[in-house]
Amino acid sequence: MAANVDSRPGSPERLSRMIQIPTVSAALADTGLDPFERFISLLEELYPLTHERLTRKRITDLGLLYRWPGSDETADPVVLMAHFDVVPAEPEDGWDVAPFEGRIADGYVHGRGALDDKGPLLVMLEAVENLLAAGFTPARDVYLSLGGNEETYGDAAQAIAQTFRDRQITPWFVLDEGGAVVAAPLPFVRGEAAMIGVGEKGATTIKLSARGAGGHASAPPTLTAVGRVARAVSRVTPAMFPARTPGAVLTMLALFAGRARGPAKLLYRALAASPWLTARLFTLLGGEPAALVRTTVAPTMLSGGSAQNVLPAQAEAAINLRIALGETVPGTLRRIKRRIADRRVKIEVVEGGAPSPESPTDNAQFALIAAAVGVSHPQAMPVPYVMMAATDSRYFHAFTPACYRFAPLAMSAELRASIHGVNERVAITELVRGEQFHRALITAIPASSGASA
C-alpha cells in the first residue's frame, strides 16, 4: 500500500488539452493519423512517470498497451481500458460551448469526449501517475489498454486482446467504460446507484439486398428490388425474438427493492423473483426495459434505384441488431432468414458481434470494484446491470470470465444524454472522485494467494 498519496493539481486543465485535440475516428480518412499522434504525444507530456516507468507497446496505429509490473509477475494481471477517440461534433448542432474548445467553466470541463471517454481515461491515468509518484507497486501486473477507434468498431482493442491470447495470458479481470453513478435509477428508487455492467449485448449489423430487372417504371413487376427489400425489412421486428431476463437484471431489481418505497417495493421484489414476469412486463413497457430482455432491431439505412421513373436494378438495407444475452449470431440469422422467407433477398453479416456472457457478482473482482466505489462515491450502491451498447471489452470477454464496465463518474440523466449528443461535459468534482476510485482499486488489487476467480 502506498502511503501519503497526493493528487496532482491541474486535472481539469489536462482534460481540457485532451479535448482540444479532435480525435474523431469517423473522420480518420479525411484527417489522417495526425490528431491521434498529437494526442499520444500529449499523453507523454502530461504523464511523464507513466511513460518512464511503464513499458508501452504500439499495437496497430491506434492501440496503446502499457504494462505496470506488479510484485508478483506470475499472477494473472488486471486490465484497465479506455479509448481516446470521439464521435463527430459540430458547433452548429447547438452546442453552448464549441465542442473542441475544452472550456473550463461553471464547475465543468466542456467538450466532446469529456464523458466518452477522455474523462474516464484521464482519471485512470491520474491515479497511475499519483501512485507512481508515491512509489507504489501493484500486487500483480496492471495493463492499461487504450484504443483510438472504439467509436468506429476498429481493430485496435481487438488486436490488443489478441496479443493477450497469443501470449496465453488470461486477465484476472478487465474493467472498461460503461455504467456510471446515477441518481434515482428507476421510478420510486431512492439514492444513488453505481451501475456496473456485467454483460453487454452483441452489436451486429446485417445487410439485406435484392436485384431486379431494370426498365421503365410505367410497367412495373409485382415486386421491385426496392419493394422486396422493404418487405424484408418490415418482417424483421423485435417481436420475432424471445424475451428472457438476464440474472443481472434480477439482481438489480432485488437491490432496488431495498431502496424503493410503497407499492414499488413489492413490485420490484415480485419481478426479482420471477424472470418470466419481468420479461413479460419489460416487453410490454417497450423502450429501454424491453431492450434489457430481448434482441432489438433498428433499420438504419435503405437505398436503391437511380431515378424516380426507372425500375431499380438493385436495392439494399442495413439493420442494426443488439443481440440479447443468451442468444447467438448464427441463431439470430437463422431466425431472420425464416421470417423473411424470400430466397431472392440476400442476407450478409457486416459486423457480427456476439453478446457477452454474464460476469459473476459474487467474486473477489466485483467486490474489489464495489469497495472502490465505497471510497469514491460512498452513498452509491453498487448494482449490476446489462449494457445495451458495445465496448472494447467485448474482445476480452470470450476468454476472460471477469469483464466489467463502469466509468467512476456521477452523471445525471441530462449529462448521460450529452454522450454522443450536444453540450457534453464532466463535473470537476467527478474528476477528483474518479481518480480516487482508480487509486483505491489499484492499491487494493490482491496478490494471487488472496484471489478467487
Lowest mean pLDDT among 248-257, 282-291, 362-371, 421-430: 282-291
Complete DSSP assignment for 289-321: HHHHHS-EEEEEEEEE-SSTTEE-SEEEEEEEE
Across 160-183, b (16+ Cβ under 10 Å) vs e yields bbebbeeeeeebbbbbbbbbbbbe
Give the tens place of pLDDT for each residue, 409-418: 999 999 999 9
Other CB atoms within 10 A of residue 207 CB = 16
**Residue appearing with cell numbers 453487454:** 200
Q: Give me 299's grid cell.
A: 433499420
The band of 1, judged by pLDDT with boundaries at 50, 70 and 90, is very low
pLDDT tops 80 at residue 165 = yes
Burial class (CB in 10 A: 0-12, 13-18, 19+), 184: middle
pLDDT score of 53: 98
Task: Give 95's Cβ-side CA count (13 Å radius).
Answer: 24
Lateral strand order in the sheet of 202-211: 296-304, 314-323, 202-211, 346-352
CB 404 within 8 A of CB 394: no
Burial class (CB in 10 A: 0-12, 13-18, 19+), 70: buried
Give the tens place of pLDDT for each residue, 177-187: 999 999 988 88
The band of 153, judged by pLDDT with boundaries at 50, 70 and 90, is confident
- The number of angstroms, rounded, from the C-alpha of 41 to the middle of its chain's C-alpha atoms is 25
Separation CA 84–CA 257 (nearest Å): 37
The residue among 209 and 451 whose pLDDT is bigger is 209
Burial class (CB in 10 A: 0-12, 13-18, 19+), 109: buried
pLDDT score of 214: 82
Separation CA 334–CA 328 (nearest Å): 10
pLDDT score of 180: 97
Domain ranges of the chain: 11-200+356-450, 202-352
Closest CA to 393 of 379, 404, 408: 404
pLDDT tops 90 at residue 124 = yes
Separation CA 14–CA 111 (nearest Å): 13
Separation CA 158–CA 453 (nearest Å): 24
3-state class (DSSP) for residue 191: coil
Across 210-249, b (16+ Cβ under 10 Å) vs e yields bbbeeeeeeeeeeebbbbbbbebbebbebeebebbbbbbb
pLDDT tops 70 at residue 443 = yes
**Residue appearing with cell numbers 438489480:** 252
Q: Find the mean pLDDT for residues 108-123.
A: 98
pLDDT tops 80 at residue 123 = yes
Closest CA to 121 of 415, 440, 426, 358: 426
The band of 437, judged by pLDDT with boundaries at 50, 70 and 90, is very high
Give the tens place of pLDDT for each residue, 80-93: 999 999 999 999 99
3-state class (DSSP) for residue 426: strand
- Phi-psi bin for 262: left (phi > 0), alpha (psi -120 to 50), beta? left
pLDDT score of 258: 93
Lowest mean pLDDT among 120-129, 244-253, 265-274, 442-451: 442-451
The band of 274, judged by pLDDT with boundaries at 50, 70 and 90, is very high
117 preceded by cis ω (within 30°)? yes
Q: Find the mean pLDDT for residues 36-59.
A: 98
Other CB atoms within 10 A of residue 371 CB = 13
Name the strand (E) or helix (H) holding 26: none
pLDDT score of 86: 98
Separation CA 280–CA 359 (nearest Å): 24
As a CATH number, domain 202-352 is 3.30.70.360
Catalytic residues: 85, 150
CB 209 within 8 A of CB 340: no
Q: Find residue 320's DSSP bridge partners.
A: 205, 298
pLDDT score of 448: 83
Question: Whole-model pTM?
Answer: 0.93
Task: Give 224's Cβ-side CA count (13 Å radius).
Answer: 20
pLDDT tops 70 at residue 192 = yes
Q: Helix and strand tally (H, E) in the chain?
A: 15, 17
Give the tens place of pLDDT for each residue, 243-270: 999 999 999 999 999 999 889 999 999 9
Give the tens place of pLDDT for each residue, 312-348: 999 999 999 999 999 999 999 999 999 999 999 999 9
Q: Find the mean pLDDT for residues 100-113.
A: 98
Question: Which residue type is seen at 331?
Answer: G
Separation CA 262–CA 256 (nearest Å): 13
φ and ψ at residue 49, rounded to 5 degrees: -70, -40
**Residue appearing with cell numbers 467512476:** 408
pLDDT tops 50 at residue 66 = yes
pLDDT score of 449: 56
Closest CA to 405 of 141, 254, 195: 195
Question: Mean pLDDT in the chain?
Answer: 95
The band of 3, judged by pLDDT with boundaries at 50, 70 and 90, is low
Q: Which CATH number fits domain 11-200+356-450: 3.30.460.10, 3.40.630.10, 3.60.20.10, 3.20.20.70?
A: 3.40.630.10
pLDDT score of 154: 81
Q: Find the mean pLDDT for residues 357-365.
A: 96
Task: Give 357's Cβ-side CA count (13 Å radius).
Answer: 11
